[in-house]
Structure 1
Amino acid sequence: MDSLLVLVAFQAASFAAAATGVIFRSGEWYKQLDKPGWRPPDWLFAPVWTVLYASIGLSGWLLWLEAGIAGAAFPLSVYAVQLLLNAAWSPIFFALHQPGLAAVEIMLLWAAILATIILFYPANSAAALLLVPYLAWVSFAAALNVSIWRRNRPKPLSEGAR
């Protein structure tokens, strides 16, 4: 029973990070941005993220099952950091309208996910491997974020326009 409660706690933590994506979702500002043609349709993001958040929660729980909180304190701390970074991206991009800052933030998120995978692997390879699709999707999301930032940043005034 304790194990099931901890699984629920890991899933709750994972989906709490997802909540910022629901609260700070795309709106008129996002619709007006110049986006690359390779961007997937908007409807695809919710189901992909739902599966990924479930995998993230399951991954943390599997590590906890293997090593416990005390035995995996550092890897679980890095795991918590990546969840916080994940939660921070949507407000930076969608609420603050800062795709450049969001690009920097998503790169930090990418590094934190990779660190989590590396730290999880020795204790529980399945827990680590569950995070690989998440890393792949964040890699794609980072490329999309950078593309949107580059396409929409203000153009410098040319010398002749003065």
Structure 2
Amino acid sequence: MTSYVPSLTLPAFIFEHPAASILLPVALGTGIGFSTRPDKKHHEHLALKQPPYDPPPQVFGPVWTALYATMGYTAYRAWNAGIASFDPNKLLLAKQGATLYTIQLGLNLLWMPLFFGLRRPIEATVDIVALTGVTGYLAYVWGQVDPVCGWLLAPYLGWLGFATYLSAGCGYLNNWDFKGMYSEPKTE
């Protein structure tokens, strides 16, 4: 069982306020997405072989925005249900979940720079497998605080399973080496 580690946990005020809880992952995810997505002028990422059922690129932004907002709302709801509870176990679980939540958010935000920025498919796939495991455990922990919170994380877990398939599939189909698939941007 993971414990509450204040130094590895977002500040309590983030969890206490719904706007902060929801906007933080949306803003961070959007920022990472825009800063690490492949350059529009150079579509070398399209040269990568993709596994079957790879959705069109325009699907990812709306799906991730909805998932980030839901995960933020879940953080707010679980934290406040635990803090307001007279059950000391629920309080402990809410705090432990806050640490897990912070860790999963960090793992989540690390995937795009690993996959697209550093072109490291092995490390990106290890990251997303770890992210899925931490998120599954988080759903279990926060589900004990408030069963709705466990269910709110179900779509995120489903998408992470699919994203793991895409990450590993793309890595495998490209011999786990993306460096040769990208050309350096032309200087003008």
**Structure 1 length-normalised TM:** 0.87
2:34 pairs with 1:22: yes
Q: Which sits farther off after the overlay, 3-12 or 54-63?
A: 3-12
SS, match of residue 144 in structure 2: coil
Q: Which sits farther off after the overlay, 31-40 or 93-102?
A: 31-40
Unaligned ranges ≥5, structure 2? 1-12, 178-188
Question: What's 1:129 paired with?
Answer: 151
Unaligned ranges ≥5, structure 1? 156-162
Aligned 8 A contact 1:106 1:142 in 2: yes
Question: What's 1:144 paired with?
Answer: 166
Which amino acid counterpart does residue 55 of structure 2 have in structure 1?
A: P
2:124 pairs with 1:102: yes
Cα deviation for residue 13 of structure 1 reads 2.4
2:50 pairs with 1:38: no
Which amino acid counterpart does residue 8 of structure 1 have in structure 2?
A: A
Cα deviation for residue 16 of structure 1 reads 3.8
Cα deviation for residue 82 of structure 1 reads 0.5
Aligned equivalent of 1:11, options 22, 34, 45: 22
- Counterpart CA distance in 2 for 1:3 and 1:137 is 25
2:78 pairs with 1:78: no
Which amino acid counterpart does residue 164 of structure 2 have in structure 1?
A: A
Question: What's 2:111 paired with?
Answer: 89
Which amino acid counterpart does residue 133 of structure 1 have in structure 2?
A: P
Question: What's 1:52 paired with?
Answer: 67
Question: What's 1:115 paired with?
Answer: 137
Aligned 8 A contact 1:17 1:86 in 2: no
Which amino acid counterpart does residue 102 of structure 2 have in structure 1?
A: A
Aligned 8 A contact 1:3 1:65 in 2: no
The percentage of aligned residue pairs carrying the same residue is 29
Which amino acid counterpart does residue 145 of structure 1 have in structure 2?
A: S
**Structure 2 length-normalised TM:** 0.75
- Counterpart CA distance in 2 for 1:88 and 1:148 is 17
Aligned 8 A contact 1:17 1:83 in 2: no
Aligned 8 A contact 1:17 1:84 in 2: no
Aligned equivalent of 1:64, options 76, 79, 102: 79
